[in-house]
């Protein structure tokens, strides 16, 4: 059993000699101090329940919204030698102003009369093309004339052949008549000889009949000769018809062949003309590359080729150039873990280098010296450092950015996300959790509220 006494201990008497006890017990707390401490505690509790805007912080730099407005290198289109600079670095130039003049160093283009000679060659070849075309046209007309003459000659030969055929028929009839007459004369001679032997006819009559027979025989031989001559004439007419056809076909074929040769030569000359014309155009365009001009209104920032007499190669940069009129944008880089929270149209608070600002990350409305921006684009692939590039443009609904901002200046950006209580944000940071990126089971939407 424990030996516990019911007698109390006089603590003040025992500890009265202890200096530390006396200092603690002797300290006097006023009501004001208690009120202050209580107020601070109450204020801290209230602050814990205030809304806090979650955010993603990132560094970046100023750039332009449009790619054509960014700094660019102006390259030489041809190889050459620097002869004269017309501007100085930092000078404002207008579009088309001459920046530098270079001379030719390629041996192929050193002829000072190169353009005139190329033009003369082109015009000569063009005249050659026209001559071939005129020759082809003349041969085409010749072919038409030969075809017309062929048609007329064929008709003439066909008519001659028909005449010959009719003459053969006529001569054959004449021959048949002569044969019949000869047979009749032979019959009469035979009858006269019989009558003469019987004493009924005189010798004179017999001799007359023999004379008639001889005349009929001569007519029959003559008619046969004429008939044979007509047949030969018919053969000649047929041969003439074939000759006319063959001769004109040969002439037409030769003229057509010459015409096709002329057309082929014209097309070949046309190809050479186009080649020479293209070469002449290239010479003319190349002569324009001797003067390197400003692509648009802007500033010549830095000459990359200095001095007179320096040689440059084709495609080498000559100077850097910045357009005069451009729309600023901010180029920020975020971690891959934060990229899913980035959306086009999200608001971003920006602090520019050289512009004093008082920044409260979670309370953008209480920040001073910061400016508002809107996310307009972000890369779909990470850069060499593993971060993703985000492009931010000025917010049209907020105050404009300072006019004295220059490209390349540093920027501190704060992408605004969901509004949460302060105690939740403290708890999230103590546990190392990322900003809220959870799914609402009811509708499957991301719990990200972009504060404006």
Same domain, 240 and 155: yes
Query: CA angle at residue 159 from 155 to 164, to 5 degrees?
Result: 150
Rounded distance between C-alpha atoms, residue 254 and residue 139, angstroms: 10
Same domain, 266 and 411: no
Same domain, 146 and 174: yes
- Computed over its alpha carbons, how large is the radius of gyration of the chain? 60
Lookup: tokens for 377: 């684009």
How many domains is the chain built from? 3
Q: How confident is the model at residue 104 (pLDDT cuts 50, 70, 90)?
A: confident
Same domain, 168 and 304: no
Residue 279 lies in a domain: yes
Phi, psi for residue 116 in degrees, rounded to 5: -65, -40
pLDDT at 261: 87
The predicted model scores a pTM of: 0.54
Per the structure, the complete domain to which residue 256 belongs is given by: 114-288
Residue 50, pLDDT above cutoff 80: no
Which of the listed residues 227, 261, 288 is the one where a domain comes to its end? 288
pLDDT at 229: 83
Cα of first residue to Cα of last residue in the chain, in angstroms, is 73
Residue 29, pLDDT above cutoff 60: no
Same domain, 167 and 200: yes
* CATH code: domain of residue 92: 2.40.50.100
pLDDT at 157: 78
Could you give the maximum distance between any two Cα atoms of the chain, in Å? 225
Same domain, 258 and 179: yes
Same domain, 305 and 338: no
Encode pLDDT of 312-344 as tens digits: 888 888 888 888 888 888 888 888 877 777 788
Residue 441, pLDDT above cutoff 50: no
Which of 22-26, 277-281, 329-333, 445-449 is least confident? 445-449
Encode pLDDT of 386-410 as tens digits: 888 888 888 888 888 888 888 888 8
Q: How confident is the model at residue 1 (pLDDT cuts 50, 70, 90)?
A: very low
């Amino acid at each position: 059993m424990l030996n516990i006494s019911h007698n109390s201990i006089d603590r003040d008497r025992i500890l009265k000699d202890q200096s530390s006890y006396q200092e603690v017990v002797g300290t006097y707390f006023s009501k004001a101090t208690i009120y202050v401490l209580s107020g601070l505690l109450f204020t801290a509790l209230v602050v814990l329940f205030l809304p806090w805007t979650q955010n993603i912080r990132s560094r970046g730099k100023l750039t332009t919204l449009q790619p054509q407005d960014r700094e660019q290198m102006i390259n030489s289109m041809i190889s050459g030698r620097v002869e004269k600079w017309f501007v100085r670095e930092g000078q404002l130039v207008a579009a088309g102003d001459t920046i530098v003049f270079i001379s030719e160093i390629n041996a192929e283009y050193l002829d000072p009369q190169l353009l005139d000679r190329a033009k003369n060659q082109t015009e000569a070849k063009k005249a050659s093309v026209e001559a071939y075309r005129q020759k082809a046209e003349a041969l085409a007309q010749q072919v038409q004339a030969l075809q017309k003459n062929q048609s007329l000659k064929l008709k003439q030969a066909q008519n001659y052949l028909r005449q010959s055929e009719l003459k053969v028929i006529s001569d054959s009839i004449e021959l048949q008549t002569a044969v019949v007459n000869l047979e009749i004369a032979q019959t009469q001679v035979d009858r006269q000889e019989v009558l003469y032997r019987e004493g009924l006819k005189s010798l004179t009559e017999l001799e007359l009949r023999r004379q008639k027979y001889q005349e009929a025989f001569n007519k029959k031989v003559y008619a046969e000769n004429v008939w044979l001559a007509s047949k030969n004439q018919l053969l000649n007419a047929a041969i003439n018809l074939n000759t006319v056809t063959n001769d004109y076909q040969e002439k037409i074929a030769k003229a057509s062949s010459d015409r096709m040769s002329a057309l082929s030569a014209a097309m070949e000359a046309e190809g050479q003309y186009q080649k020479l014309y293209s070469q002449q155009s290239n010479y003319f365009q190349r002569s324009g590359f001797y003067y390197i001009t400003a692509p648009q209104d802007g500033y010549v920032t830095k000459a990359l080729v200095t001095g007179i007499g320096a040689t440059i190669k084709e495609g080498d940069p000559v100077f850097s150039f910045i357009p005069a009129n451009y729309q600023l944008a901010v180029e920020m880089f975020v971690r891959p873990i934060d990229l899913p929270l980035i959306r086009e149209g999200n608001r971003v608070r920006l602090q520019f280098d050289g512009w004093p600002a008082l920044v409260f990350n979670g309370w953008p409305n209480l920040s001073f010296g910061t400016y508002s921006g809107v996310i307009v684009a972000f890369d779909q692939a990470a850069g060499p450092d593993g971060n993703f590039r985000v492009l931010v443009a000025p917010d049209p609904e907020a105050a404009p950015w300072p006019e004295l901002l220059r490209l390349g200046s540093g920027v501190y950006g704060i992408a605004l996300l969901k509004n949460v209580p302060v105690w939740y944000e403290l708890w999230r940071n103590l546990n190392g959790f990322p900003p809220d990126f959870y799914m609402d089971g009811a509708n499957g939407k991301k719990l990200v509220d972009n504060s404006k």
